[in-house]
Amino acid sequence: MPASRPVLLLFRLKPSTLAVLAARFRLLDLHASPLPVDDFLAAAAADDDPPHVAVVPGSGVVRVDAAFFDAVPSLRLVVTVSAGLNHVDLPECARRGVAVANAAGIYSADVADYAVGLLVDVLRGVSAGDRLLRRRGASLLPLGSSRLGGKRVGIIGLGSIGSATARRLEAFGCVVSYHSRRQKRDVSYRYHPTVLDLAACSDALVVACALTAETRHIVDRPVLDALGSGGVVVNVARGANVDEAELVRALAEGRLAGAGLEVFEDEPNVPAELLGMDNVVLTHHQAVFTPESMADLDRLVVDNLEAFFAGAPLLTPVVFSDWS
């Protein structure tokens, strides 16, 4: 069975998951090859039974674009292990008749938990208090931390992650509103047609939208200024959704109260100015990494591959028009 079902594997999997895939499919594994990426893709394309499926990471490490498909023209499906698709050229996929499957809602609960955790940390100074205690043997911060309950929280992007975050914030007694490309008719949260309007009516902004040409730097200086000097920004989407240089300036100049960031524009690099700010909580793009979500992801990758080779519908197909 595996011999007739070749899969181009560009994502490093756990040994246990790799064993499951190897038992079902014939893997052309980049991480098991001594070849550089370009040579590896050329070898895969020249294989007697070239791959029809590629499993790719969820970042810019591998850009799925025209050059990628030119290198391996046999591909008919791309499975990405992320929910976001900013590294996948969807119009090119559509033009070539290549289907795409993503991680869809696999990470939503964990990222929503993380978003709320970052917001609580920034407001209450949890990490700052921990650092102070370790340095000085005392944990008393200057008065100024603030409770989450009752805060007006605006969510940018009310997809699966944004919706899960909203439900958690409701439990804290927050007043939730949102901005997205289209108003959601099945929710009671107040909709704002622009991010500027949302920021002006919020004490905190949670960025949970996809990264597209339209949402790049969707949080810019005017939005930060509308949020105001008491405002907080939490970003669990993509670094480039926020104009990082303007965010740094707003924090340094006291035009923003704080930020919780797990993504950055130039990952893994973090602006040096942020490292010394006690009102900023920084982590490295790790919200999705729980044992539970990784196990769910492993099953989803296998099930999408099985569906493709069986000629059945994919479990998490990307509808190109939803991302245009």
Q: Which residues are designated catalytic? A: 238, 267, 285
For residues 89 and 70, the answer to whether their CB atoms sit within 8 Å is no
d(CA 298, CA 315): 13
Residues in the chain: 324
Q: How far is CA 36 from CA 54, 128, 188, 299, in A?
A: 17, 43, 51, 29
Asked if 233 and 256 count as a contact pair (C-beta separation under 8 A), the reply is yes
Closest CA to 261 of 51, 118, 140, 139: 118
The CA–CA distances, whole Å, from 127 to 96, 110, 133, 205 equal: 48, 20, 10, 20
Contacts of 68 (CB under 8 A, 6+ apart): 41, 62
Tokens found for residue 108 = 């939503």
